[in-house]
Chain A
Amino acid sequence: MPTDLAQLRHEPGVSKPDPILVVDNMRKRFGGIVAVDVDHLEIQRGVITALIGPNGAGKTTFFNVLTGFDTPDEGHTVFNGENIDGAKPHRLAQKGMVRTFQLTKALTKLAVIENMKLGAKYQKGEHFLNALISPIWRGQEGDIERRGDTLLKRFQLGHMRDEYAGSLSGGQRKLLEMSRSLMAEPSLVMLDEPMAGVNPALKQSLLDHVRELKDEGISVVFVEHDMDVVQGISDWVVVMAEGAIIAEGPPESIAANKLVIDAYLGSHHDAPLDFSEEEAILKASDRGGETVGGEEE
């Protein structure tokens, strides 16, 4: 664990020496249910922070609110010292906060390399009039492509470069999404359950890649509901339950925390969910591609 975190007390809302993201008094309700209820949270720069909690704890909603995909009912967020209340997702991405999704969003009908090129910021050719005149953007396009190829190689996707992203396996899509987010040169990467649905062999490689991000000086926040996954990789763990932050600390302290164990095993495991909780959980789970009758997949 980095030394600058070692001195901190292990309690919710504790101040960090160099926070990249600060959240204050954030609330989000769906109907009568309070999905997010965070008084104060700071995310340390340059480390890997895990956001864990049982299903329905409000992690994904919190994540959506932080990344601008959902608007909170109240609350303030400061990113890199700048107030970002009400900022749209694309603005946040331009400012350096890039996220991935629990259900991977590989753009299936674009080639893998095109997926990568999409990630790059400040492309001249993305402006309508510039787009009409190739010489304006061709040079930059070449640079972007080279950068994309380098990243693809690093993520073991080099051989798939010209395939449709739709032909990638689930694990490869996760890798693509992660590498694509790096194209945007982020200072903070927000990964929404990067290990979900990935086979154990690939899990290790994914974890290595997450570690590499940190080595490059990128701050990482990732959502995970499996406590074991976070043990080996995270520097700091934030635990959510019923919308609120109930514990913070290094992974080893979290594993022993009584409140956390209660949240995972406690009040719920002997009483069945009542309807409103069940609804909250279902609301929180992402909706996939729709077909007639709303059949998913």
Chain B
Amino acid sequence: MTRILDLAGGSRRLVGFALLTTLVLSLFAVFAPVARADGEAIGTRLLYNEPESGERLPVAGVSFTVQDLSGATIAEGVTDAEGVVELPIPGSGRYGLTIDPETLPPGVFLADPERTSVVVDVLPGKTGRAIFQLVNENEAAVSGIARTITFRQVAQLTVEGLKFGVFLAMAAIGLSLIFGTTGLVNFAHGEMIGWGMLWAYFFNFYGFAGVFGFMKDWPPPFGSGVNLIFAAILATGMGLLFGWAFDKYVFAPMRAKGVSLISAMIVTIGLSILIRYVFLFVFGGVPRFFKDYTAQSGIQIGVIDITPKDLVTAGISVAILIFVGLFLGRTRIGKAMRAVADDRDLAESSGIDVAKVIRFVWVAGSGLAALGGVFIGLSEQVSWNIGFRILLLIFAAVVLGGLGTAYGALIGALVVGIGIQVSTLWIPPELKNLGALILLIVALMIRPQGIMGRAERVG
């Protein structure tokens, strides 16, 4: 931690240097204004470093106002797709250009939050240019910008963490139950999430015809896309199918063959790589949004700002998790699942059809993961490699809670979800998953059997 803080100091100097450059450049802009046919204007172009790719991208939709010497606003406008705004002014002279920081998109900040206005001298017939230095969320975190921790922020991040936590829990329970009943750590579990997410995308946009071209004249959902709600249900169905096929054609034969658990684990890794790169091949590398419910503005609940879609999906997830809990506790097959997880041989000898129970766990676990995937895709974006990114978080959740226990997975997932969101108050968002992974390792040192796990006899 101290090292990161040290660095922050170093980078603050960097930012200072950048600001100096900005000033020099603005001066330059004053002396080398761009010619403009229809009289004087004042303008700027907004660019920032996209955190994933590092590309410099324009920032659109940011509001600006122009003030004259009296301080009265004489023009206003919004940056276009190129990040450019140019506002006409009545004549040459000294003007102020003011940015409205509230209109900056999420994850983009002013390098100097205090510097919302720039004074520009505009020469006759020219366009005066101002420069507003922007930073992305990581740069902002490193340089200590946007660092005042408010109750509102903490509450907001906690709620977002809870939301992510319940999605994570849906995915994690499957992994944990599969481990509990078969002893297998399924490294392809992340791909079950991706599977659900991508199918929902295809059903949402293209229907079955997205895969089976001959169906394109059929009615929806075969020939064309359907509403995301319906697409999510279909995708969950595909998830159930995936789990069934995975067990029937891969793991049941391996169990019958007596393949060791370690070999089976490596098989799941091989399959996960294969499946993930087939996703890349089919879907492409660029993350995309679903067709429906993407751009929603948040509603205010107390101090929390949450979009209706997040509220609904988190609500559904909670309902499903409660259902799973009741299912495990109350129903015959649920109890059988726990019996197999507790002691396979005892379960078998007391007449439980273990193979059937394992099949059921695969199907249900995969279905839950698929639906979780749809929800994550809706709350973030649809991408081909979500599986691996989420997988490590699921591991963290499941190990934290104790491998093999459903409740442990749930609690672990909530801890991880809240942990990574709230941690962004102190660490750059690009490193937010780091906290969960470090937590995983520390948890193993302190309590290897997990929060909810029992000590097991060794030797």
Contacts and interface: CB of A to CB of B under 8 A. Distances in A.
B246 to A, nearest CB: 13
A202 interface: no
Interface in B378-400: none
Contacts of A291: 255, 258-261
A31 interface: yes
Interface in B259-286: 259-261, 264
A64 B459 contact: yes
A271 interface: no
A70 interface: yes
Interface string A57-89: 000010010010110000000000000000001
Nearest to B344: A294
Contacts of B459: 64, 67, 69-70, 89
B457 A283 contact: yes
Given A292-B261, A294-B183, 10 more contacts: A67-B459, A282-B343, A290-B183, A291-B258, A291-B261, A292-B184, A292-B251, A293-B183, A293-B354, A293-B358
A278 interface: yes
Contacts of A216: none
Interface in A184-219: none
B297 to A, nearest CB: 49
- Most B CB within 10 A of own CB, among A31, A67, A282, A294: A294
A61 B457 contact: yes
Interface residues of A, number: 21
A294 B66 CA distance: 72
Contacts of B181: 293
Interface in B153-186: 181-184
Interface string A277-294: 011001110000111111
Contacts of A279: 342-343
A294 B457 contact: no
A30 B346 CA distance: 18
Interface in B279-319: none
B254 A292 contact: yes
Nearest to A67: B459
Nearest to B454: A31
A30 B182 contact: no
Given A64-B459, A70-B459, A295-B255, A290 B261 contact: yes
A274 interface: no
Contacts of B354: 293
B92 to A, nearest CB: 80
A296 interface: yes
Interface in B429-459: 454-455, 457-459
A290 B264 CA distance: 11
Interface string A10-39: 000000000000000000001100000000
Contacts of A70: 457-459
Given A30-B457, A70-B458, A293 B344 contact: yes
Interface string A155-182: 0000000000000000000000000000
A70 B459 CA distance: 7
Contacts of B342: 279
27 contacts: A30-B455, A30-B457, A64-B459, A67-B459, A69-B458, A69-B459, A70-B458, A89-B459, A278-B346, A279-B342, A289-B260, A290-B183, A290-B260, A291-B255, A291-B259, A292-B182, A292-B251, A292-B259, A292-B260, A292-B261, A292-B264, A293-B181, A293-B183, A293-B184, A293-B255, A293-B344, A294-B345
B182 A293 contact: yes
A292 B251 CA distance: 8
A278 B345 CA distance: 12
A70 B456 CA distance: 10
Contacts of B343: 279, 282
B369 to A, nearest CB: 20
B205 to A, nearest CB: 38
A296 B345 contact: yes
A61 B258 CA distance: 29
